[in-house]
Amino acid sequence: MLKDGSLTEELEDILGGLEQRIMMYRSKLIELQKKRDRLDDELKTAKRYLELAETLYKVEKNKSRTSQQAQPDDSDKGTSKSPDDTKDLLLNQFIFSGLSIPQATYILLKEEGRPLHAKYIYQRLLEGGVKIRSKTPITSVSISLNRDKRFLRVSPNTYSLSEDETQPHERR
């Protein structure tokens, strides 16, 4: 009988130890998941800062390139850009970011107020942050605009807003 009692007591001790390990591993798992979430947030933030730094680098590189190409007469007139100009240039590089080709082109044509060629539209969209992954991006722009009723093809590869879009809409 003594053996049965000590065996039961020993099994209860083992079960108690296993329950403690399970609780310890669960708390460790929760702690590691929280740590992973914090690291994921830090990665996202670092990626955003990297994108901004790369864009700023491109802006500064373009500024230095244009200042080197400037004629000697222009250098005397103080052509260096103010921080506001740099900020505007930086913001313009993200003006179309996250928009589709038709959405960005609509904004572009609205601002320009005149028909634009698909090649120029593509260049402006690229500068504005639209990512077009295609071997023939100008053709992609043309096809997107041909399929959208908001745009009118006025000559080969040249588009304007349709008359419905240029007229102010009345609210009903």
Using one digit for the tens of pLDDT, what is the confidence trace for 54-93? 888 887 877 777 777 664 554 444 455 556 666 665 555 6
Asked whether residue 131 is assigned to any structural domain, the reply reads yes
CATH number at residue 106: 1.10.10
The verdict on 119 and 64 lying in the same domain is no
Q: Mind listing the pLDDT tens digit for each residue in 102-143?
A: 999 999 999 999 999 999 999 999 888 888 888 999 999 999
3-state secondary structure of 58: helix
The verdict on 65 and 103 lying in the same domain is no
Q: Mind listing the pLDDT tens digit for each residue in 137-172?
A: 999 999 999 999 999 999 999 999 988 766 665 544
pLDDT band for 2, please (50, 70, 90 cuts): low
Give the whole-number percent of the chain exceeding pLDDT 70.
79
